[in-house]
Amino acid sequence: MKKSMLYDWALLCSILIISAILLSIFPDRKRTVIGVSSNFFIEMILILPAVMVMLGLFEVWVPKNIVVKYIGKASGMKGIFLSLILGALPTGPLYIAFPMAAALIRKGAKISNIVIFLSAWACIKIPQEMVELQFLGLHFMLSRLILTVAFVIIMGLLIEMIMKWRHFEKFNL
Amino acid sequence: MNITVIVINGIAIISLLIAFIKDRKKAMKSLKIAGKSFLKILPMALIIIIFIGLFLGFVSSRDISKFIGDQSGFTGMLLVGAAGAVIYIPSLLAFPLAASLLESGASISAVAAFITTLTMIGAITLPIEIKEMGKEIAFLRNGLSFVIAIIIALIMGAIL
């Protein structure tokens, strides 16, 4: 983690140097570049700390095993709903969701719920929706959210059907 | 200051107050985690912000709309969708980038495709996904995600 942070800061320094060079070669672009960057900086700094505070609160208050506990046995509409909600909780990057999902499969959870859980984790995260609202507006955020939820559910059911069809024996014991 | 900023900061402050009333120690721990994650994302956020400035300063809206604007149609959307599937940017930082594309003439469908593939499909995390979930589920999920991203993008373009 320390190493990747160092890498990020080094990248930031180099992009700063590159932009300084570019702007000294093309001084007429200075106004646009600095204007645009400072606008985006202000929008970002107004919202990022709040999002981080909420992430921190969730991390401490919501136990990690809540996912395994609730999705493990749930099925039907309730299973779909729980998978969506638990996936959407602000609980870190996608790669930590895979081991959880694998554990769920071993425990016999439904494939559809696991796919829905993973996809919700990837793209319906609550902090993510907040930042989308800030930058792209209510209409864009809401319509994309509704469509994503609908299609993620369809995809989950579809993948479960395909898996059942391909491994008839395994899932119909 | 727009309404979104006020609402989100309001929710954060109220939740933090409740947290402090319920359990001071846990609340302090949350704040520490928040500070750490903020520092962790900060350099990348600044990189994206500078990149957006350079991008809008040097690439003309005409070029952007030519490649991924309304007249670029389906190919433009597939192009950004594919880019979104391969690139790895923290999703929180994808939205300002998407907003800058939209501002400079990209079509709604292209931007929707970009965000959806960016968040749902991870070329970088694919090896972990295969290892944990097996090849079949991993490929099915990522492949179908691309298809639904394009469908979502097309619908978004039609209704917005």
Task: Say whether both B92 and B79 belong to one domain.
Answer: yes
Task: Say whether both B28 and B106 belong to one domain.
Answer: no
Task: Say whether both B27 and B93 belong to one domain.
Answer: no
Nearest-by-Cβ selection for A57 from B19, B38, B102: B19
Average pLDDT, chain B: 90
What is the span of the domain harbouring residue B157? 60-160
Q: Do A128 and B99 touch (CB under 8 A)?
A: no
Q: Do B116 and A134 touch (CB under 8 A)?
A: no
Q: Do B136 and A163 touch (CB under 8 A)?
A: yes
Mean pLDDT is lowest, of A14-28, A61-75, A107-121, for A61-75
Distance of alpha carbon B124 from alpha carbon B127, whole angstroms: 7
Complex confidence, ipTM: 0.86
Task: Say whether both B47 and B75 belong to one domain.
Answer: no
Is there a contact between B106 and B116 (Cβ–Cβ < 8 Å)?
Answer: no
pLDDT given for residue A143 in this prediction: 96
Q: Which of residues 37-66 of B touch A (CB under 8 A)?
A: 37-38, 40-41, 43-47, 49-54, 56-58
Nearest-by-Cβ selection for B9 from A50, A56, A123: A50
Q: Where are the alpha helices (DSSP H) in chain A?
A: 2-25, 30-45, 48-61, 66-71, 76-88, 97-106, 111-123, 126-166, 168-171
Q: How many domains does chain B have?
A: 2
Helix (H), strand (E) at residue B42? helix B24-58
> Which of these three, B26, B42, B58, is where a domain ends?
B58
Q: Does the structure show a pLDDT above 80 at A74?
A: no
Task: Say whether both B53 and B65 belong to one domain.
Answer: no
Tell me which chain B residues have a C-beta less than 8 angstroms from the C-beta of A59: 30, 33
Task: Say whether both B30 and B99 belong to one domain.
Answer: no
Task: Say whether both B70 and B136 belong to one domain.
Answer: yes
For residue A22, give Cα distances in angstroms to A18, A19, B57, B90, B159: 6, 5, 11, 26, 40
- Does the model's pTM come out above 0.95? no
Task: Say whether both B122 and B73 belong to one domain.
Answer: yes
Distance of alpha carbon B44 from alpha carbon B90, whole angstroms: 8
- B123-135: average pLDDT: 89
Q: Which of residues 109-138 of B touch A (CB under 8 A)?
A: 111-112, 115-116, 119-120, 122, 125, 128-129, 131-133, 136-137
Q: Do B4 and A56 touch (CB under 8 A)?
A: no
Q: Do A60 and B30 touch (CB under 8 A)?
A: yes
Task: Say whether both B66 and B113 belong to one domain.
Answer: yes
Distance of alpha carbon A132 from alpha carbon B8, whole angstroms: 12
Q: Does the structure show a pLDDT above 90 at A138?
A: yes
Task: Say whether both B4 and B43 belong to one domain.
Answer: yes
Task: Say whether both B98 and B128 belong to one domain.
Answer: yes
Task: Say whether both B47 and B89 belong to one domain.
Answer: no
Q: Is A53 on the interface with B (CB under 8 A)?
A: yes
Cβ neighbours around A131 below 10 Å, total: 25
